Structure 1
Amino acid sequence: MLKSKTILIFLLPLFIFSQNEKWPSEKLKQDLNIFKEIREKANSGLYKYRTKQQIDSIYSWAFSQLDEPKELIEFYKILLQITDFEGSLHNDTTLPDDFEKKRSSGNVFFPYPVKLISKQLIINFENSEIPLGSQIHNINGIETQKLLSSLYKYYTTDGYNITGKSIGIGGSFAKYFEMEYGPQKSFLVEYSLPNQTQKLTKMIASVSNEIRKENFKKRFSLPMDSLQYARAKDKYSFKLISPNAALLSVHTFVIGRNAKDKIHIAYKKYLDSCFKYLSEHSEIQNLIVDIRNNGGGTDPNDILTFSYLTQKPYRENASAYVNFQKIPFANYLVYEETDAKKQQEERKDFEDELLEEFPKLINKKYPQDKKFNPVLQPDKNTFKGQIYLLISPRIASAGSLFAALVAGNTNAIVIGEETMGGYFGHNGHTPIEYELPNTKIKTQFSIVNLEQDVPQKANQVFGRGIIPDHEISQTFEDFMQNKDTQFEHTLKLIKNN
């Protein structure tokens, strides 16, 4: 999901601890205080969606939970609540690697993949115990809506977005359940059969992490999940779908690391050929741009793609800033190199780049120098017909920046579901990672607070993702037939127009 220009990742020595050890209250409070101070100094997005009073309030709650010793996993969940509350999909707080490995052993996981359809939790796996398409009402006595809400903190999204959390829950439901409620020997599931209301119960056995992963690979919706989960072999494609319509699919913006990368150059040549063809065939008046699997990537793939769709000059963003030039709390950075000299060199390179791009302190912020955000021009073969943009909750980071530019600055008709990435802006570009000294829990966030170059729109609300003009979700009936509801709706729009 990262839209990264510079990645600073370091490693500290591993800390050995007991799986069920209860940590002294003072040690946990020390780590929580450092966690708080790091974010206040380094995280420019801390108050993007929350007031200082709200942030102070959640920390007051967190400290109040630490008056007694706690297991590491319980402390971790408190940090997750804060990480998610801030409202940035680039936020990530993780347990130590050794701790994660130990938790994955044994038959402790819910066995079957699930999918959220119309806010209902549906069995997404053909099996002999609970039929495919059955709706789950509760598991081990936990009602579904309460269960889902408890899992939201494990998958961060921008602002106040909720739809994006369906991606995390659909992909990692069993893992999140085990994390939240502990290892389970079995699951008592209350469910109803497809299109029925009578509630049934079934006790099913837990499975290992290996079987959980294998079942997910064999989930029923796999043919359709290429739109949201797949790491497509073909990162992009173009084809004619009718005499007057074409389809451009861009599944990721991880297409080379920068403008000089040969992979990016090949992508640019590909786009050139596609849009030259469209400009030479004026009968093709409709272009579907499908980015439903696009979780982001690197510059300048997103803004390059936009240059073929816009009719007017544009910028990547309206403004951007960071909180610092010298890395605060550098003694807690996670180092990639073990050699002290190499660590120092890498840190200096990182700070030199910040100094160049964000050179002056203005009103307690370091704004981006204008040369890093120039006015850009449409491509000479920019498409002049009707654009149809297909979006989903999977869209994040550079994917959502691109979607926002298209939705806000072209004639595009936007179809699908709200993106997890924000319409008006996000924190991105440059991730940084720290490790807490006692528990060795790691926390990562992106330091560039940027406002996207988009206009106000009646259907766009601050703190939300890109809102579609036509809100179209896969229906249960289409799920059972693995139909692409959104694409078929788009074809009907083209036919009627």
Structure 2
Amino acid sequence: MKNILFTIFALFLLSFSLFAQKSIDDSFSQKKMHKDLKLFRDIREKANSGLYKYRSKNEIDSIYNWAENEIKNSSTYRDFYNIIWKLTDFEGSLHNGLNLPKKVNASVKAEKTGYFPFPVKLIEGKLRMNMDSTQIPLGAEILSINNTPIEKVLPNLHKYYTTDGFNKTGKAIGINGSFSYYYRLHYGKQEQFLVAYKTSNEILTQTIQSVSYKKRRENFIKKRHSLSYDKNSYSDIEKNEFYYFEMLENDIAKLTLNTFAIGGNAQDPIHIRYTEFLDSVFTLLKEKKVNNLIVDIRDNGGGTDPNDLVTYSYLSSRNFMENTEAWISFRKIPYWKHIKGEIAFYKKPILKMLYNKELKKIFPLEKEGKYYEDSTSDDHQVRMPKQNAFTGKVYLMISPRVASAGSLFAAMSASEENTIVVGEETQGGYYGHNGHIPLNYTLSKSKLKMFFSIVNLEQDVPKKDNQPIGSGIMPDYEITQSYQDFIKNEDTQLNYVLEFIEKK
């Protein structure tokens, strides 16, 4: 049924209207800011079931009071854009987001100057040059930019990459991939950058001229040093790399799952091929009596049901459901007029009726102003372990890139007693998240496009002492890529797992 909603709603994802704003740095009146801020909050309170998932009423009130005061010192469209981003990030959902209207976005992409030219990467907590240059060498630690220490710069950029709960490791994915763009959004266009950096024990400075939006993207996509190591984290994954299996040694196998975006539903031929692949893998593992299985999901940003659940059924030792609870906060979609799209006005009432009707089917139970799925939902279907489910030792490799369906799979797998989790905290939550069904709204005055997922989910996982509420999936062994391995583009985490197995 969730897929039906996606189909119905696909017609409404784009928004078009007359809008004078052309540049993100243009002036924007405080009166318009206040009106859009009120609308933004009204929509979140009515439609977003995750508003208070991690934040108390007092905390939400407090940050909106901050926003009201911030507007008093604001004068540009970019000022307001950054205020809305901070509110969006504060809620704690990786499915939250904000897009610029078409004209403003086009003007940003056409900019000929203003951008920090070099890709960077966080390595062991330090921001390193991720490109060799005659101005600043590969691997140099960036200490400050334009006299602002980097430890003050980075928190200002975190808001542009939302994560579940209070997670911070996932912010590194945004920083590594879009530092230059985020810097421009927060600090404005810069004609040049005074960079203080460190090589070995020497601290140096260099003045760097800015580049165009296009050039900074080209440097990242084609010239970053780590491209061969992290290409699947920052580009579309090739079909032949969606998933694959390899025997490393007689008693060690590795299953790599880079995405769960494998077909649209259980009847999709692509999904069926995937289940056949899984069955052949786990049949082979049983026949060969393999005792050690590495499951690498470090690049898995999610996908569609039931790929995650079917995969877990080959690792599970228990009966399980996708979630124990799922609810939304409204019976009829609120503020419908602010959802605009390419569809004739006379068809909009029909679409609204269909959408609300489908939501009522999916969430029929009302309890204290919330609308829940019932026992007939696919989400609450009890699933059993596969007959050839793996019973040896599982080494689950995770990273901050793991999100959504990827983190659901990681949470369930991490709950198994025979699983050892290695890597870094995921950006997706262990106990739950907001997901499944997105809503997209356009603010009246700024035309900013806000989106969030409306289903508040509690995942079917046990409580664990090392999994605090509001965190991502925490590793049993926290291992990050070392500086030396970054320079050599070697896999610190995989090498650790292989050595761990050998020692055992």
Is the Cα–Cα contact under 8 Å of residues 227 and 292 in structure 1 kept in the other structure?
no
* Most deviating of 312-321 and 350-359: 350-359
- Residues 135-146 of structure 1 aligned to structure 2 (within 5 Å): 135-146=141-152
Per-residue deviation, 1:21: 3.8
How far did residue 110 of structure 1 move? 0.7
Q: Distance in 1 between matches of 2:191 and 2:346?
A: 50
Moved more, 94-103 or 53-62: 94-103
- CA shift at 1:302, angstroms? 0.6
Check the 8 A contact 1:391/1:414 in 2, yes or no. yes
Name the counterpart of 1:332.
338
Q: How does 1:65-464 map to 2 (within 5 A)?
A: 65-67=70-72, 70-104=75-109, 105-193=111-199, 196-217=200-221, 218-226=223-231, 228-233=233-238, 234-282=241-289, 284-335=290-341, 337-372=342-377, 373-464=380-471
Give 1:4 shift: 7.7
Structure 1 pair 227–242 and aligned structure 2 pair: CA distance change class (3 A):
farther
Change (3 A) 1:12 1:481: closer
Residue by residue over 1:396-424, the C-alpha shift from the partner in whole angstroms, topping out at 9 and shown as x without a partner, is: 11100110000013521000000000111
Q: Measure the CA separation in 2 of the matches of 1:134 and 1:5.
A: 50
Q: Counterparts of 1:144 and 1:6 in 2: how far apart (Å)?
A: 44
What whole-Å deviation, never above 9, does each CA across 1:188-225 have from its counterpart, x for those lacking one? 110011xx222100111111122111111221111110
Q: Is the 8 A contact 1:4 1:431 kept in 2?
A: no
3-state secondary structure, aligned to 1:58? helix
Residue identity in the other structure for 1:123: M
Report how far residue 353 of structure 1 moved: 2.1
Give distance in 1, aligned partners of 2:115 and 2:4. 37
Per-residue CA distance 1:39-84 (angstroms, 9 max, x = gap): 0010000001000010011111111222366211100100111001
3-state secondary structure, aligned to 2:38: helix
Moved more, 369-378 or 341-350: 341-350
Residue 395 and residue 370 in structure 1: after superposition, are their counterparts in 2 closer, same or farther (change >3 A)? same
Where do 4+ consecutive residues of structure 1 move more than 6 Å?
Answer: none
Q: CA deviation at 1:227?
A: 5.4
Superposed CA offset, 1:361-380 (max 9, x none): 11211111112111111111
CA offsets, 1:439-465, max 9 Å, x none?
101110000000111111121111110
Taking structure 2 as the reference length, the TM-score comes to 0.95
User: How many angstroms apart in 1 are the aligned matches of 2:112 and 2:174?
Assistant: 23
Which deviates further from its counterpart, 261-270 or 100-109? 100-109
Q: Residue 418 of structure 1 contacts residue 468 of structure 1 at CA under 8 Å; is this kept in 2? A: yes
- State the distance in 2 between where 1:227 and 1:23 align: 39
Contact 2:22 2:107 (8 Å CA) reproduced:
no
> How many angstroms apart in 2 are the aligned matches of 1:185 and 1:371?
59
Say whether the 8 Å CA contact 1:289–1:388 is kept in structure 2: yes
Using the TM superposition, name which of 365-374 and 412-421 deviates more.
365-374
Whether the 8 Å CA contact 2:303–2:405 is kept in 1: the answer is: yes
Count of residue pairs brought into register by the alignment: 491
- Identify if the C-alpha distance between structure 1 residues 257 and 342 changes in structure 2 by more than 3 Å, giving closer, same or farther: farther
- Offset at residue 109 of structure 1 (A): 0.9
2:49 matched to 1:44? yes
One-letter code of the match for 1:231?
A: D
Residue 296 of structure 1 aligns to a residue whose secondary structure is coil
For 2:318 and 2:74, the matched residues in 1 are separated by 60
CA distance in 2, matches of 1:5, 1:173: 37
C-alpha contact 1:11 1:338 (8 A) present in aligned 2: no
Report the Cα distance in structure 2 between the residues aligned to 1:133 and 1:33, rounded to whole angstroms: 45
Q: Are 1:465 and 2:472 matched, yes or no? A: yes
Determine the structure 2 residue equivalent to 1:17.
Answer: 21
SS, match of residue 122 in structure 2? strand
SS of the counterpart of 1:109? coil
Stretch of structure 1 that moved more, 143-152 or 349-358: 349-358
Letter matched to residue 94 of structure 1? N
* Residues 418 and 223 of structure 1: CA distance in aligned 2, closer, same or farther (over 3 Å): same
**CA–CA separation in structure 2 for the residues paired with 1:450 and 1:185:** 46
Q: Deviations over 1:370-398 (max 9, x none)?
A: 12111111111111111010000000111
- The residue type equivalent to 1:60 in the other structure is N
Structure 1 length normalisation: TM-score?
0.96
Match of 1:485 among 484, 489, 492: 492
- 3-state secondary structure, aligned to 2:163: coil
Distance 1:236 1:270 in 2: 9
Relative distance call for 1:6 and 1:398 in structure 2 (3 A) is farther
Contact in 1 for aligned 2:415/2:461 (Cα 8 Å): yes
Unmatched runs of 5 consecutive residues or more in structure 2: none
Which whole-Å CA distance do the structure 2 matches of 1:126 and 1:68 have between them? 40
